[in-house]
Amino acid sequence: MDVVDAHLHLFKALSDDYPRAIFEGMTPPEREESAERLLAAMDAAGVDRAVYCALSEHDHYLAEVLSDHPGKFAGVSVYDFADPDPLATLQRRIDAGIEGVRFYGLEGEPGADPESLAVFPTLAAMRDAGMKAWFYGPADQVALLDGCLELLGGLKVVMNHLGFLPNMHLELKVDDHARPQFDMPLPPPGLEIVEALAAKHSSVNVHFSGHYAFSGAPYPYRDLQETTDRIYAAFGADRMLMASDWPWIREEPGYPETLGVVDQLLGGIGATERDMIRGGTAMSLFNF
């Protein structure tokens, strides 16, 4: 079974050819995280393929990496709520071989009719095209996602980073290692919402990743054991995807160590289940 790192970031130094978002303390304009550096780390760690998620709605380096390394990467872009023609943008991404789009919420008022959401036609087109929706939004947006899934049966969704539901715009901090960090109680208050979503929609998956950003303990993040156990019970191995969130973890705790959290916190599962989390689920979702 191929080993797949199912969520990570690459980017070039900011330029006219490679526009991208700037996150203070994490992605200064001069910083670059190349595919070549990642591929060397993957080879050393025994990782066969990876899912590259763009930092922002800018797809320039993402499309280049997919073209330069066929079969090695799958691509996920980021939805731009200010895009005047999101369906045209989606088609351009499909033509470039991009297979997913990340949403930081759905920008709807709680209780809104799902079909009234500006993003709904894009989600419908993604369902029809077999694309995957990466979801990393606050808890009040999950009910809207639930409503969309009721109307768009079969839409594949991946809840990011153990199903945590932070508000990226309000709660994101940067730690001493230039990594994202969130101060949230454990287990997180949104966990029951994610468990209910998993029970209701078999097309919803979850990343086994992001431990460093939510834990208050050192590696291997034992304070996330209850959260891990509940996520595993809710989704099962065939709907979980191991991911590193490279490059934030490259120095601390390290790339192999990050991928080893599966064996640290889920050491009692069988070999078949381990293989699914470490690559089987990702291989079933993406056309590498």
Spell 85-116 as b/e; 16+ CB within 10 A means b: ebeebbeebeeeebbbbbbbbbebeeeeebee
- Phi and psi at 124, nearest 5°, equal -65, -45
Q: Give residue 117's Cα distance to chain centre.
A: 22
159: helix, coil or strand? strand
C-alpha 139/C-alpha 50 separation (Å) is 28
- The pLDDT score that the predictor gives to residue 224 is 98
- Please give the structure tokens belonging to residue 90: 């989606």
d(Cα 58, Cα 61) in Å, to the nearest integer?
8
* Domain span at 115: 4-285
HSE of 26, CA atoms in CB hemisphere, 13 A: 21
d(CA 218, CA 235): 26
Between CA 275 and CA 288 the distance in angstroms is 17
Dihedral sign from CA coordinates of 127, 279, 284, 62: positive
DSSP bridge pairs for 51 = 74
> Phi and psi dihedrals of 53, rounded to 5?
-105, 125
CATH number reported for the structural domain that contains residue 75 in this entry: 3.20.20.140
pLDDT 10s per residue in the chain (288 long)?
899 999 999 999 999 999 999 999 999 999 999 999 999 999 999 999 999 999 999 999 999 999 999 999 999 999 999 999 999 999 999 999 999 999 999 999 989 999 999 999 999 999 999 999 999 999 999 999 999 999 999 999 999 999 999 998 899 999 999 999 999 999 999 999 999 999 999 999 999 999 999 999 999 999 999 999 999 999 999 999 999 999 999 999 999 999 999 999 999 999 999 999 999 999 999 999
Pairing label, strands 156-159, 173-174: unpaired
pLDDT recorded at residue 169: 84
pTM of the model: 0.97
- In this structure, what DSSP letter does residue 256 have? H
**Distance separating alpha carbons of residues 229 and 83, to the nearest angstrom:** 39
Domain count, the chain: 1
CB–CB of 113/124 below 8 Å?
A: no
Question: What pLDDT, on a 0 to 100 scale, did the predictor assign at position 79?
Answer: 98
